[in-house]
Amino acid sequence: MKSFKGGIHPEENKITTGSLIKEMPAPELIVIPFSQHTGAPAKPLVKKGDRVLVGMKIGEAEGYISSPIHSSVSGKVKDIRVMPHPVSAIPVLSCVIVNDGENEPDPSIKKRTSYDTLSVEELKNIIKEAGIVGLGGAAFPTNVKLSPPPEAHIDTLIINGAECEPYLTADDRLMQEMPERILEGANIIAKILGVKEPIFAIEENKPEAISKMKAAGANVVTLKTKYPQGAEKQLIKAILDREVPRGGLPFMVGVVVQNIGTVKAVADAVIYGEPLYKRVLTVTGDGVKNRGNLLVAVGTLFKDVIDFMGGYTDNTIKLIMGGPMMGISQKTDTVPVIKGTSGILLLKGEQANIPHSEPCINCGECVEVCPMHLVPTLLAKLSENGKVKMANRWGIMDCIECGSCSYVCPAGIKLVQAIRLGKYLLRKERSKK
Ligand code: SF4
Ligand code: SF4
């Protein structure tokens, strides 16, 4: 049997590293979910028939852990109704907009002549009102992450440029093409946290990004290319040799980690007054005719993005939001790009082979590779049987959904999918209390 003792090494397949970011024109129909973040969905501020403008707030944050939502086009609200969503298993309340193609910006979008004099609270409020959430995956509201409890002594800000997920190159391209903007965003966050100089953590497989960020004046730490190097707790261990306690968060060891796309969004909001209504993502895999990195309006349907890239190739059999390890398989291409869409991956033939599941043979490989020192086989069984309280005791919420366990399982058991279900059920149970 193959051994994974030294960790797993999924093929990188970063075939779009050299593709310049290209702006995709927003299509005629846009679907913007009111829930694109961790926490409570936003409350609609518009109704059927209303005219909206680019960057206009159309959903208000509901509570502390929530985030506002903005229109990515100008046009007319066609409907407010539940629509398929790329992350949620059930349809989500969404704003359906017919784009008038005029691209008329909301008057609130204005470049600031100066932001140096803004207070920490003013900066955090701009970030909150701009609807900025973590663009690396969990989509946690950034203003909340930048408000650690008073007893936390934050001394380090790490900007996560690892992008260890195979195939994805959006962060790599952002660093290559907009290093100054990213550095400005990082310095704004450092000011909010009272940290001297941010540390940029970049894997060694991105030499261009490393050299561009260094040339812009960033403090770069080069990391070994290793999966899942980009997970927060792994980064903190690799750079600072600090261990985040089980069930804990990075602020407990004095650290805040922010993703490259998030940092760029902070600069856009603070300097240019632009809320988060578009993002860079990678469209890739053998299942799509053209591949590349695109700047896409939030709310653009996957099918429109795929059409823009020349359409499907023959025999495309798998559509994933994100990469092959941490991404989420989609049943339909009529789901919209949301703030957390880092990529659209289309696979065909062998690459998309979904192994037939066999019973567990107790080989222990999943335990061996788990970077969080969990017992994936047990967590999956407990989740499938609805025993989520027990799964919680075994640390299910510490799972970073890296997919390493599923990758190595010789029995083809969909461990990470089962664990995701367990986490979802546990959150649901907690929210009832
Ligand atoms: S249990 Fe979670 S953290 Fe551990 S290998 Fe599986 S997906 Fe990764
Ligand atoms: S779940 Fe898969 S990897 Fe884990 S012990 Fe069972 S057969 Fe091995």
Could you report the per-residue pLDDT of 368-386, keeping only the tens digit for each?
A: 999 999 999 999 999 999 9
State the pLDDT at residue 428.
83
* Residue 30 · residue 297 · CB < 8 Å: yes
**177 and 40 housed in the same domain:** no
CATH number at residue 215: 3.40.50.11540
Q: How confident is the model at residue 353 (pLDDT cuts 50, 70, 90)?
A: low
Evaluate whether residue 208 is within a structural domain. Answer: yes
The answer to the question of residue 328 being in a domain is yes
Q: Which domain holds residue 312?
A: 21-109+275-349
Domain identity same for 132 and 245: yes
272, 301, 316: which is the final residue of a domain?
Answer: 272
φ and ψ at residue 182, rounded to 5 degrees: -65, -40
When divided into structural domains, the chain yields a total of 3
Confidence of residue 136 (pLDDT cuts 50, 70, 90): confident
Q: Residue ranges of the alpha helices (H) in 273-403?
A: 302-308, 365-369, 376-384, 388-393
- Residue pair 339/131 in contact (Cβ under 8 Å)? The answer is yes
CB neighbour list of residue 208: distance below 8 Å, 6 or more residues apart: 17, 172, 176
In this predicted structure, what is the pLDDT of residue 138?
A: 81
Using the mean position of ligand 1's atoms as its centre, give its distance from the Cα of residue 407 in Å. 10
Spatial separation of the C-alpha atoms in residues 423 and 401, rounded to whole Å: 10
Question: Do residue 162 and residue 240 come from a single domain?
Answer: yes
According to the model, what pLDDT value does residue 393 have?
A: 95
When computed from its CA atoms, the radius of gyration of the chain, rounded to whole angstroms, is 21
**95-124 pLDDT tens trace:** 999 999 999 999 999 999 888 999 999 999
153 is written with which tokens? 């002594």
422 Cα to the center of ligand 2, angstroms: 18
Q: Is residue 15 part of a domain?
A: no
Ranges 1-10, 78-87, 253-262: which has the least confidence: 1-10
Residues 96 and 139 in one domain: no
Q: Which bound ligand lies closest to the C-alpha atom of 227?
A: 1
Q: Are residues 75 and 188 in the same domain?
A: no
Q: Is the pLDDT of residue 351 over 80?
A: no
Residues 161, 245 share a domain: yes
Tell me the best of 413, 414, 417 to mutate to test the pocket of ligand 2, counting ligand atoms within 8 Å of each CB and taking the most. Answer: 413
Has residue 10 been placed in a domain?
no
Pocket of ligand 2 (CB under 6 A): 360-366, 377, 408-411, 413, 415
Peptide bond into 324 cis (omega under 30): no
One domain for residues 305 and 181: no
Using DSSP, state whether 22 is helix, strand or coil. Answer: strand
Residue 4, pLDDT above cutoff 80: no
3-state SS assignment for residue 88: coil
Cα 419 to middle of ligand 2, angstroms = 14
- Which of 4, 356, 366, 419 most suits a substitution to test ligand 2, by most atoms within 8 Å of the C-beta? 366
Same domain, yes or no, for 94 and 135? no
| Per-residue pLDDT reduced to its tens digit, 184-211 | 999 999 999 999 999 999 999 999 999 9
Structure tokens given for 5: 């003792």
Is the pLDDT at 3 greater than 90? The verdict is no
Ligand 1 contacts (CB < 6 A) are 369-372, 374, 376, 399-405, 415-416, 419
Confidence band of 229 (pLDDT split at 50, 70, 90): confident
Residues 307 and 259 in one domain: no
Predicted local distance difference test score (pLDDT) of residue 5: 62
Which pLDDT does position 357 carry in this prediction? 86
Q: Which atom of ligand 1 is nearest to the CA of 366?
A: 5
For residue 77, pLDDT over 70 is answered with yes
Rounded Cα distance between 129 and 390, Å, is: 39
Rounded to the nearest angstrom, the distance between the alpha carbon of 297 and the centre of ligand 2 is: 41
Q: What is the pLDDT of residue 430?
A: 81
In this predicted structure, which of 197-201, 228-232, 387-391 has the lowest mean pLDDT?
228-232
Residue with tokens 């561009």: 212
Q: Which two tokens stand for residue 422?
A: 């367990």
Confirm if 33 and 94 have CB atoms less than 8 A apart: yes
- Does some domain include residue 39? yes
194 & 147 share domain: yes
Question: Are 131 and 259 found together in one domain?
Answer: yes
Q: Is residue 11 part of a domain?
A: no
Say whether pLDDT at 1 is over 90: no
Do residues 336 and 424 share a domain? no
Buried b (16+ CB within 10 A) or exposed e, 390-406: bbbeeebebbbbbbbbb
> For the whole model, what pTM was predicted?
0.93
**In this structure, what token pair is assigned to residue 10?**
């999924």
Q: Does residue 427 carry a pLDDT above 90? A: no
User: Could you give the CA distance from residue 162 to residue 200 in angstroms, rounded to a whole number?
Assistant: 9
Identify whether 3 is part of a domain. Answer: no
Q: What does the pLDDT average to over 160-166?
A: 96
Q: Whose CA is nearest to atom 2 of ligand 2?
A: 409
9 falls within a domain: no
